[in-house]
């Protein structure tokens, strides 16, 4: 994997989803037909694309976001969140559909149930047709947008010399055409199993498989090597956003020219720190906090 040219416009371009998360805290999850009263309610920025773009920006990467929102208050809110983080929104399009939403119920034990309405996210790549991406050291993508857009963006990024990073979440069946365009795929254990396992991903043409293992760290596999990444020990209170923090830090470090092992080590610290704060976007750590934690190891 080669270091990308310095003349690229951005460190990381994120092509992905933008959702408004509507979160109800409950004593227990409702049974079919049951109506219950929530203990509390909150609205947060969400969508794996937004989360990971914010994670990259907080790690010091010059970040651009490519996505879609609706012409509604949720869309204005999400645009504001991105711009407040210093993220370029030139390619964030407004479409004639509601902004994506996730309805999340969380009970007193931390169990949850989630319903996602894709809304404007179904138009990512369609609204930007033709999909002409700004140049970047790294292209970062997830699977909450159309697979045709994923394929088109990966193709364009490889032609421009960018490092392509894919988080296969939520899981969708991926063709060898798509996988062959991926430099680094970052699944968790469940997503890796759904994809057929590490060797199947490598055989399909992925150059590097970086599997996150939660509190056990991560493992990096290529066709010729396997390297374990040690976990960063913390007292976790909420694992939401940990994977996004990991991949955001990883992408920011790769954009700075770090080797994959070193970038993953930084990602492991960022992911661990995210578990010490509740929520997704609120938990995403800054570069300063990650470096400080690494210096104390």
What are the distances in angstroms from CA 34 to CA 28, 31, 140, 147? 11, 5, 41, 37
Contacts of 296 (CB under 8 A, 6+ apart): none
Enter the DSSP assignment of 229. E
Radius of gyration over alpha carbons of the chain, in Å?
18
What are the distances in angstroms from CA 285 to CA 70, 156, 270? 28, 30, 6
d(CA 107, CA 132): 43
Dihedral, CA of residue 144, residue 150, residue 156 and residue 159, to nearest 10: 110
Contacts of 176 (CB under 8 A, 6+ apart): 204, 205
CA angle 132, 138, 144 (to 5 degrees): 70
Q: Which of 21, 88, 183, 244 is catalytic?
A: 244
Q: Residue 123 in contact with residue 97, Cβ under 8 Å?
A: yes
Q: Residue 27 in contact with residue 36, Cβ under 8 Å?
A: yes
Can 73 be counted among the known catalytic residues?
no
What are the distances in angstroms from CA 88 to CA 57, 132, 175? 10, 15, 31
Q: Residue 78 in contact with residue 45, Cβ under 8 Å?
A: yes
Tell me the catalytic residues. Answer: 244
């Amino acid at each position: 994997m080669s270091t990308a040219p310095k003349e690229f416009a951005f460190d990381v371009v994120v092509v992905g989803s933008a959702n408004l998360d509507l979160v109800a805290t409950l004593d227990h999850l409702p049974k079919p037909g049951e109506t219950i009263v929530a203990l509390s309610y909150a609205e947060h920025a969400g969508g794996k694309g937004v989360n990971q773009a914010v994670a990259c920006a907080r790690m010091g990467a010059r970040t651009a976001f490519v996505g879609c929102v609706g012409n509604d208050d949720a869309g204005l809110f999400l645009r504001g969140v991105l711009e407040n983080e210093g993220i370029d929104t030139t390619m964030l399009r407004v479409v004639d559909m509601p902004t994506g939403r996730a309805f999340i119920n969380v009970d007193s034990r931390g169990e949850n149930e989630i319903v996602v309405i894709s809304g404007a996210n179904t138009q990512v790549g369609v609204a930007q047709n033709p999909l002409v991406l700004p140049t970047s050291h790294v292209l970062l993508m997830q699977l909450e947008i159309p697979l045709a857009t994923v394929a088109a963006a990966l193709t364009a990024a490889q032609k421009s010399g960018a490092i392509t990073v894919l988080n296969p979440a939520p899981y969708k069946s991926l063709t060898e055409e798509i996988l062959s365009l991926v430099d680094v795929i970052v699944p968790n254990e469940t997503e890796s199993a759904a994809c057929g396992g590490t060797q199947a991903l490598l055989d399909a043409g992925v150059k590097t498989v970086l599997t996150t293992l939660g509190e056990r760290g991560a493992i990096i596999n290529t066709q010729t090597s396997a390297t374990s990444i040690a976990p960063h020990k913390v007292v976790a209170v909420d694992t939401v956003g940990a994977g996004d923090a990991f991949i955001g830090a990883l992408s920011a470090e790769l954009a700075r020219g770090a080797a994959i092992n070193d970038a993953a080590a930084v990602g492991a610290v960022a992911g661990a720190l995210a578990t010490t704060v509740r929520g997704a976007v609120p938990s995403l750590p800054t570069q300063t906090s990650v470096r400080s934690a690494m210096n104390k190891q």
